[in-house]
A and B are shown apart, each in its own frame.
Chain A
């Protein structure tokens, strides 16, 4: 009887357990330590090795749905860039990601007392995806005449020495969709642009062929990747807090899988005996 019940646990109980284990670490601000993976370390080193004043282009290709995973990555990378005195150029290929990207950029820029137009810039969104990427390879100012707030790019000092990808040290694509593929296929291949991808956990496994082939120089996968980057930058953020929730959620799922399998085998054995 008990085994039958354990084989068919009402999913509302599972939801309840998951809700509790996700919520508690956030409420109590629990943080866990993470082991740094090679792919995240490689991403960190690539940015770390850029000479002072180099430009890092960050593409916001996500919206609110993927914000819990990708926003901590954005903030950790921005903190790293500003610490290293690198110039940051933010662009968007998801229109609904524009305010999210701007919010993250402004927040971190304030922390480091950085000046808009000198140390960082937000170019906003332009429709056209691949067309925009390819045209930026010729001249960024031909695609983005103005920044997000409508100021001409020529009037902003940060863009004085930046014409196209030749002047961009590294491109970081924060991806919740297919734009990462486009960055690699069109910009990485054609313009030999160094690319780092930060992707959601479900997409991470698909990016390994690019990593192994050297088409990307670093991979930051999911919340774990964000937590690793935060650890490397040495400024803990929501990635590490979220990692605690993820840890307990994974353990809960594994627990339920084990329970389900034990009861399944007990019932199967009983069935055979009958």
Chain B
């Protein structure tokens, strides 16, 4: 019983305090907010440790059960250990793992950065291929999408400015046509977040306890 009630009570009190201090940042609430934010940072630090623990266990299970693609879990362990060990050594030796000349920085500059850049750069190729296949004027809506995409694509490059009407049309699409739905989606997300927060604070939503 207490196992459920105590977390619910902590959630309720924390939620209420944070909401009050956000709107009334004056004494005594201001100090409370400051303390709560420090606590948040500390808890976040520990949650990272839990995340690492969870990831290590997940890949250990995959290897132990010889699940499909378990070889990639070895790659994960190799990467994790390489970063962890070089990170600790670099931090002790240089006082900053990212300092120039450290082994950790070497891994960052010559493995991580090229890998991240490559992954993102590949998008250009896939977007081109997908656009060629997907933008077909099969019906009225598809045609509208196709025309809008081509106008915006032209409007986002210098040559578009030389074609009469493209720049104002692109600006109109960005400033008006897409703005209404974009704002609607954002308001919808915000309302959803508020209702979910209220459910959590009031103890209606309890799935996080399981």
Contacts and interface: CB of A to CB of B under 8 A. Distances in A.
B33 interface: yes
Interface residues of B, number: 56
Given A35-B158, A99-B105, A134-B37, A127 B117 contact: no
B144 interface: no
Interface string A174-212: 000000000000000010000000000100111011001
Secondary structure call for the B interface = helix
Interface residues of A, number: 63
B150 A249 contact: no
B175 interface: yes
B157 to A, nearest CB: 4
A257 B146 contact: yes
Contacts, number: 147
B174 A208 contact: yes
B154 interface: yes
Given A208-B174, A224-B156, A35 B167 contact: yes
Contacts of A209: 179, 182-183, 186
Contact of A212 (B133, B136, B159, B179): B179
Contacts of B119: 65
B41 A131 contact: yes
B37 A128 contact: yes
Contacts of A206: 182, 186
Contacts of A17: 128
B132 interface: yes
Interface in B154-198: 154, 156-159, 161, 167, 171, 174-175, 178-179, 182-183, 186
Contacts of A201: 156
A131 B33 CA distance: 10
B158 A260 contact: no
Interface in A126-151: 126-129, 131-132, 134-135, 138, 142, 148-150
A258 B48 CA distance: 49
Interface stretch (B59-67, B72-80, B108-116): B108-116
Interface string A1-39: 000000001010011011100100000000011110110
B95 A150 contact: yes
Contact of A254 (B30, B153, B175, B183): B153
A254 B186 contact: no
A253 B153 contact: yes
A247 interface: yes
A169 interface: no
Nearest to B167: A35
B161 A254 contact: no
A64 interface: yes
Contact of B48 (A11, A18, A127, A247): A127
Given A128-B44, A209-B182, A260 B167 contact: no
Interface of A: 9, 11, 14-15, 17-19, 22, 32-35, 37-38, 63-68, 96, 98-99, 102, 126-129, 131-132, 134-135, 138, 142, 148-150, 190, 201, 204-206, 208-209, 212, 222, 224, 243, 246-247, 249-254, 256-257, 259-261, 264-265
Q: What are the 3 A-B residue pairs with the smallest beta carbon separation, nearest first?
A: A128-B41, A64-B116, A65-B120
27 contacts: A11-B132, A14-B128, A15-B125, A15-B129, A18-B128, A65-B117, A96-B116, A135-B34, A138-B30, A142-B34, A149-B95, A150-B95, A201-B156, A208-B178, A209-B179, A209-B182, A224-B157, A246-B156, A247-B157, A250-B156, A250-B157, A251-B159, A253-B127, A253-B153, A256-B128, A257-B146, A260-B133
